[in-house]
Chain A
Amino acid sequence: NAGVTQTPKFRILKIGQSMTLQCTQDMNHNYMYWYRQDPGMGLKLIYYSVGAGITDKGEVPNGYNVSRSTTEDFPLRLELAAPSQTSVYFCASSYSTGTSSYEQYFGPGTRLTVT
């Protein structure tokens, strides 16, 4: 299993540009997440999804959009990039049932710089 894969690894955007960060998992996990991590800080949840077609906001959703058309893929869209979105972005997935939640598996991250 490749686990959670993310593309691209690095990206530099100009202010106002748009881009999509890709995330794919091959573990058949039903839950997927997007986090951002600013320097010296812990991860903050941007958006999450509990299954295909279902997404919800996390702690810091402003400036981002997501979709989940398949179990495997959970892309994150930045519409109008701003310097405040300079960060490292991590995608994660996990399996949850009605009674139990299991550990999250994280991708390697995408380092985004907006100038």
Chain B
Amino acid sequence: DAKTTQPNSMESNEEEPVHLPCNHSTISGTDYIHWYRQLPSQGPEYVIHGLTSNVNNRMASLAIAEDRKSSTLILHRATLRDAAVYYCILRGSGGSNYKLTFGKGTLLTVNP
């Protein structure tokens, strides 16, 4: 499985934007970039995913570099509820690529 590299931790202030980086220099052409997050004492939850183009949903935006070797998860206005561990995961396309491989992720702290 292609690996991802994320900072161990990041800090943000409430109501400010947060940019969470992820490096994946060995990504293959068919790998999707997925983001999950894990709030304290809860199971992970899906945030967003993309292949080549930037993606937006109600939770976040995903900006993907043109060479696809890195991506950035953007939380437009951080709230205290966004404090969590954020995981960047590569997953192949197709019905047979259903497994997720979790690294340690980035622990996001949001200051009031």
Contact = CB atoms under 8 A, between A and B. Distances in A.
Interface of A: 4, 31, 33, 35, 40-45, 48, 50, 58, 90, 92, 94, 96-101, 103-109
B103 A42 contact: yes
Interface of B: 34, 36, 41-46, 49, 87, 91, 93-105
B43 A106 contact: yes
Nearest to A90: B43
Contacts, number: 61
Contact of B44 (A40, A43, A44): A43
A55 to B, nearest CB: 14
Given A43-B44, A108-B42, A108-B43, A94 B98 contact: yes
Given A106-B44, A108-B43, A100 B100 contact: no
A40 B69 CA distance: 26
Contacts of B93: 100
Contacts of B104: 40-42
B98 A31 contact: yes
